[in-house]
Amino acid sequence: MILEALNYAATWPLTSAAHRPFIRSSVNLWARANRCRTAWAEHERQTKAAILKAAEQCRQRRTVVVLGSGLLRDVPITELSRLFDTVVLVDLVHLASVRGWLKLKGLKNIRLIERDLSGLDALLAGEVLEPLSFLRQVPYLDLVVSANLLSQIGIGVARRLGGQSEDSDRVRQAIAAHVEGLAQVPAATCLVTDISYTVIDRGGLRHETVDLMHGVDLGTPSARWDWPVIPFGEESRDYQIVHHVIAR
């Protein structure tokens, strides 16, 4: 708890007032990732491999933008820094622990941007939903990576709307807008996201499966794997929650 409190306090002055309410959830994720490092290791390896494969296929390597850069545990940031002239990391919050790690590594070509990628404000205002339109302003853009972000957009929008069943269409709109935004980017793209999760007991019985994409079609994936986001013992001795991930 002490480390979490220190990370929270150090991140507060580095974060804009509009995004400070999200620091707590970022710190909680950081703590969970540390606790579950063994269970998450294969997912992180697979995600990094998918991103690197996309990066290595780029004919030019000037600028790469990583959407949902988060804790950088699943982003091959050192390799991207070597491959590209500029690496832009976009997220609601960049924790002090992440900033400190980047500084320690001496990665000089990293740029951090705070941004809400959900598009919820435009959605509520009845405006055209283009949450990734800012990418048009990024010069020399050769690769855009969406790193384990898309399901979190849906979860975040549902939570902020109150989680009512009648809001399902708007959650679907937010997810679809992200997918469409990637399709319109004049650059290579790499999408990695968990698309559903299943609650499984110790006997292997599947109790519930939930569609995190709310019916949005992501097309044919190039790879897929399972990610035990909540392994046995994290929240329950008897159940684990396994997320199903695709890369495209």
Give per-residue pLDDT as tens, 42-69. Answer: 999 999 999 999 999 999 999 999 999 9
Average pLDDT over residues 2-25: 96
CA distance 165 to 157: 12
Residue 107 DSSP class: -
pLDDT in tens, 92-127: 999 999 999 999 999 999 999 999 999 988 888 888
Q: What is the pTM of this model?
A: 0.95
pLDDT band at 128 (very low <50, low <70, confident <90, very high): confident
What is the model's pLDDT at position 164?
62
Q: What CATH code is carried by the domain that includes residue 47?
A: 3.40.50
Closest by Cα among 84, 95, 93, 26 to 51: 84
CA torsion sign for 72, 73, 78, 79 is negative
Question: For the chain, what is the domain count?
Answer: 1
List the domain range (segments joined by +) for residue 228: 2-247
Closest by Cα among 139, 133, 82 to 106: 82
**At 99, which helix (H) or strand (E)?**
helix 96-105
Contact between 63 and 111 under an 8 Å Cβ cutoff? The reply is: no
DSSP for 170-215, written as a single string: HHHHHHHHHHHHHHH-SSEEEEEEEEEEEEEETT--EEEEEETTTT
Distances (CA, A) of 161 to 69, 105, 132: 24, 39, 21
Q: Helix, strand or coil for residue 147?
A: strand
